[in-house]
């Protein structure tokens, strides 16, 4: 059954993302569950703060964060405190990329 093992191994390899993602799929799952859980509610500043770094990281990677995290985006539009924090994180990320 060596061919089967080979097949399995090559499948495993192919499933890995080509570029290094900013977070593990486990983290993403946890986050998505958290977002689903709060889907119909406004996020609190605390919840936005928890998501802020990954939100900024995704944004800096060119992801459509407004599509991925509409509640975070909405909150950032409404809340100057969180927006300030977001901008600070973005500045750090941009610096890191130089």
Q: Check binding of 79 to Zn ion (CB under 5 A).
A: yes
CA distance 27 to 48: 16
Return the residue of 45, 61, 88, 92 that touches Zn ion, per CB under 5 A. Answer: 45
Q: Which stretch binds Zn ion (CB under 5 A): 10-18, 51-59, 77-85, 87-95?
A: 77-85
CA dist 60 → 17, 23, 39, 55 (Å): 18, 14, 24, 9
Q: Which stretch binds Zn ion (CB under 5 A): 14-22, 51-59, 63-71, 72-80?
A: 72-80
Torsion of CA 30, 32, 35, 37, to 10 degrees: -70
Return the residues of window 2-31 that contact Zn ion according to CB under 5 A.
none
21 or 50: whose CB is closer to Zn ion?
50
Nearest Cα to 22, choosing from 69, 70, 62? 62
Which residues sit at the interface with Zn ion, rule CB under 5 A?
A: 45, 79, 82
């Amino acid at each position: 059954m060596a061919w089967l093992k080979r097949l399995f191994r090559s499948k495993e390899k192919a499933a890995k993302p080509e570029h290094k993602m900013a977070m593990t799929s486990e983290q993403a799952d946890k986050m998505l569950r958290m977002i689903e859980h709060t889907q119909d509610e406004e996020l609190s500043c605390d919840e936005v703060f928890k998501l802020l770094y990954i939100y900024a990281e995704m944004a800096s990677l060119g992801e459509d964060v407004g599509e991925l995290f509409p509640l975070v985006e909405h909150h950032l539009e409404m809340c100057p405190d969180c927006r300030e924090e977001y901008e600070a994180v973005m500045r750090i990320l941009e610096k890191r990329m130089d």
